[in-house]
Amino acid sequence: MNSILALTRLLDEAELDKEGRKQLDLIRRAAEDLESLVNDLLDLAKIEAGKIDVRAAEFEVTNLFSALRGMLRPLLLNRSVSLVFEEPEDLPPLHTDEGKVAQILRNFISNALKFTEAGEVRISASQERAGETVTFSVADTGIGIDPEDQELIFEEFTQIDHPLQRHQKGTGLGLPLTRKLATV
């Protein structure tokens, strides 16, 4: 996948006609989708094998939100949806694996963006229990999840049948991976 993506970056600098540019974009998107799938499968396998590395370090939630805002803004294709990051107030630096926290939030936010046709996706963080815990929240004005399906969405390769779902790509691995990462 890395080789294909590197070649698409090289070709991106070449002079291509409209059709060539369209084909290059299709190749790039397919390679990115496959890379994402392979990475999710590898992460799940590492967790199952007890081989996941947790690299704890101190970081600021404000910086994490800033990075996520920049990374996820390209997914915001629908102008009737706003991506809102609430600036955290009085949060101390966190000491945990920032990459894993970012991966969890990316999965929740990208799902929220996929299934919100109008309104907003709002991300926040707050301190709980006398400063012992920080709770992250991703809320949206999307289609929602029926109570009977709320456990089902965390099963591998499972997706809920909904008309909007038929227009969205996915493997049903993001939320199961997120649940497992949150318990590592």
User: Which segment of 47-51, 59-63, 83-87, 116-120 scores lowest on mean pLDDT?
Assistant: 47-51
Top-confidence residue, 34 or 118: 118
Residue 111 to residue 160: CA distance in whole angstroms? 12
The C-alpha R_g of the chain, in whole angstroms, comes to 18
Q: Check: CB of residue 118 under 8 Å from CB of residue 81.
A: yes
Per-residue model confidence (pLDDT) at position 155: 82
Name the residue ranges covered by the structural domains of the chain. Answer: 1-52, 54-182
In terms of average pLDDT, the best of 4-8, 117-121, 125-129 is 117-121
Per-residue model confidence (pLDDT) at position 122: 97
Per-residue model confidence (pLDDT) at position 135: 93
Per-residue model confidence (pLDDT) at position 168: 61
Per-residue model confidence (pLDDT) at position 164: 58
Query: Options 1.10.1740.10, 3.30.565.10, 3.40.50.300, 3.10.20.30; which CATH number does 54-182 get?
Result: 3.30.565.10
Residue 85 to residue 72: CA distance in whole angstroms? 11
pLDDT of 101 > 80? The answer is yes
pLDDT of 165 > 80? The answer is no
Q: In DSSP terms, which residues pair with 124 in a beta bridge?
A: 137
Per-residue model confidence (pLDDT) at position 169: 63
| Averaged pLDDT of the chain | 85
Which residue, chain included where needed, has tokens 């800033």? 66
Question: 167 falls in which pLDDT band (50, 70, 90)?
Answer: low
Q: Check: CB of residue 125 under 8 Å from CB of residue 61.
A: yes
The average pLDDT across 64-76 equals 88
